[in-house]
Amino acid sequence: MLMPDQIFCHVDAGLVDLIKRLAQGRAVVDCGCGKGMLGAEGAKAGLKVISIDVNERENELVQVLRMDVCKFPFRADQFPVFLRPCHGHFVDDALTWMQPHVANALYVSKPQNLEDDVDTEGYQVTEVDGWTGQDGERAYLIKLKGKWEAQAMREFWLVKLDFWNLPTWMEKGKDGWLRHASGGGFPTDRMTGLEVLKKENLPDWDGLNWEGTVYDDPNSAEGWLTPEGRFYGCSYGSHDTAAYTLFQCSSHEAQRKGYARIHARSTFEDKPVYYMGGDLEGEAVKPTAAQVAWLRAKGFEIWPHHLESDQ
């Protein structure tokens, strides 16, 4: 069915940045994309967007996958987004369909539409700070794993210590300790020079902005490279903590998912080296074209078995 070019949600740079931050390297699935504004604007920021809509629009801006969202084969490495969707059962039906496969989704609309479109008592829904649309729209992160669990908000602090060159997010426990995502931490009443820059209340680590923190140090030669070619610099020996913090998984799992582990030098030679998942098991995960381009630009030698594909 051919629909008119009516725009319900204006996609600005602030919304694209927010979605990119929450997606954390995952491909974004624009559910009910309309003419494809998110896909068009997101591409300018290096965001991979899969645009889906059952209806055809005049003057579509991107290639649209013409299908029912409730038939799309969602995967764990995807981040579904609803931008000013149709009211009724559309969002709830789509969430029920995708729930076994994805961890969370983003709903963007006017606040008064939230309870009509989303089962707010069944899902954990958290309003995301940092963006308001031109018509007063707000963004809400919907946690899909663990539906019907009681919502428990956790407190996160963005802190800086005298001996850190950059701040980091830590969880503030009821016992007075600040802890990293990987578990290590310290009591707040025993730390001198502790500066609290910001506080957030969220159900989990999703939604925290890691830009400009110790796990996003552009001057570091150590860190992680996402499949999209985004580098997150960390200090030497912090790869495990960075993986748990940024990707909510172990280093091994991160490499299996396609994240490249970056080191300033290898064990045997004084030159930079990267590691992909499966290299030691004989089932190597090959770097993406974006990763190869970044590695070559930084002077890395690409392993021959990583080039046995179309890059």
Please tell me whether residues 177 and 87 are part of one structural domain. Answer: no
Q: What integer pLDDT is reported at residue 311 of this predicted model?
A: 43
Name the one residue in this structure whose structure tokens are 């591409």. Answer: 43
At residue 31, the pLDDT reads: 96
CA angle 157, 158, 160 (to 5 degrees): 120
Q: Do 229 and 126 belong to one domain?
A: no
Residue 148 lies in a domain: no
**C-alpha span between 170 and 34 (Å, rounded):** 39
Q: Please state whether beta strands 231-234 and 260-263 pair in parallel, antiparallel, or not at all (unpaired).
A: unpaired
Pick from 263, 230, 235, 264: which is nearest to 247 by CA?
230
- Residues comprising the chain, all counted: 311
Q: What single letter denotes the amino acid at residue 23?
A: A
Q: What confidence score (pLDDT) does residue 150 get? A: 44
Q: Where are the beta strands (DSSP E) in 174-299?
A: 177-179, 185-187, 195-202, 222-225, 231-234, 260-263, 273-275
Looking at the fold, whether 193 and 262 belong to one and the same domain comes out as: no
Q: Is residue 108 part of a domain?
A: yes
The kind and range of the H/E element at 168 are: strand 168-172
Owning domain of residue 300 = 222-306
233 occurs within a structural domain: yes
Give the count of domains, the chain: 3
What distance in Å separates the CA atoms of residue 158 and residue 238, rounded to the nearest whole number?
A: 18
Count of Cβ atoms closer than 10 Å to residue 95 Cβ:
25
Name the DSSP class of 151.
P
Task: Give the residue from 130, 135, 70 showing the smallest Cα distance to 109.
Answer: 135
DSSP letter, residue 65? B
Give dist(CA 223, CA 238) in Å, integer.
Answer: 8
CB atoms near residue 305 (< 10 Å)? 12
For residues 10 and 134, membership in a common domain is answered with yes
Per-residue model confidence (pLDDT) at position 152: 61
In a domain, 151, yes or no: no
Within a domain: 73: yes
Question: 84 lies in a domain?
Answer: yes
Q: Measured between alpha carbons, how far is 297 from 278 in angstroms, rounded to an integer?
A: 24
DSSP state of 280: T
Say yes or no: 132 and 249 in one domain: no
pLDDT by 10s per residue, the chain, length 311: 666 667 778 899 999 999 999 998 899 999 999 899 999 999 999 999 999 998 888 888 999 998 899 988 888 889 999 999 988 788 989 998 998 888 899 999 999 999 889 988 788 899 998 899 999 999 999 998 654 344 467 899 999 988 778 999 999 988 889 988 766 788 988 788 889 999 988 877 767 888 889 899 989 999 999 999 999 999 888 898 888 888 877 788 888 889 999 999 877 778 899 998 865 445 678 899 999 999 999 999 998 888 755 44
Give domain status of residue 301, yes or no.
Answer: yes
C-alpha dihedral (81, 87, 89, 95), degrees to nearest 10: 10
Domain co-membership, 8 together with 119: yes
pTM (2 d.p.): 0.49
User: In this structure, are residues 107 and 133 in contact, taking their beta carbons and an 8 Å threshold?
Assistant: no
